[in-house]
Structure 1
């Protein structure tokens, strides 16, 4: 099983994209995931990790949230566990 963490910048107003990401992952994978945790941060951060491995990071993977890339990466991870 996989645990996902979404660290997001509170002052930047990134709560809504974090919730959108969390909701999408739960809708896509449901009980296949151990957890999808939101972690408040600062400094413009928006990082999605799965079991400690970075899946998507604002600035590294672009400024616009790429939910398809995140979903595909989590899907690949779950398939490799099966």
Structure 2
């Protein structure tokens, strides 16, 4: 099954965004996901990985929760 990791910057205050995204993904995919984990970080990071593959990185992508959900949907087994 599919594992999602959301890495977020604690000092930047991105925890709320990470929690909201986590809840959205759980609402959309429920038991199709094995895990949706939050990983605290720093340095401005906000990155989403699905089964170890980065599907969103704040450094290169504009934040769009629908695009992130679509990327997860493509990888849900």
TM range (shorter): over 0.9
C-alpha displacement at 1:26, in angstroms? Answer: 0.1
How many residue pairs are counted as aligned between the two chains? 77
**Normalising by the residue count of structure 1, what TM-score does the alignment of the two structures yield?**
0.91
**Alignment partner of 1:66 is 2:64:** yes
CA RMSD, 1 decimal: 0.7
> Which residue of 2 is the match for residue 32 of structure 1?
32
Which residues of structure 1 form unaligned runs of 5+? none
**Normalising by the residue count of structure 2, what TM-score does the alignment of the two structures yield?**
0.96
C-alpha displacement at 1:59, in angstroms? Answer: 1.9
Which residues of structure 2 form unaligned runs of 5+? none
> Which residue of 2 is the match for residue 48 of structure 1?
48
- 3-state DSSP class of the match of 2:29? helix
C-alpha displacement at 1:17, in angstroms? Answer: 0.4
Compare CA radii of gyration and give the structure with the larger one. Answer: 1
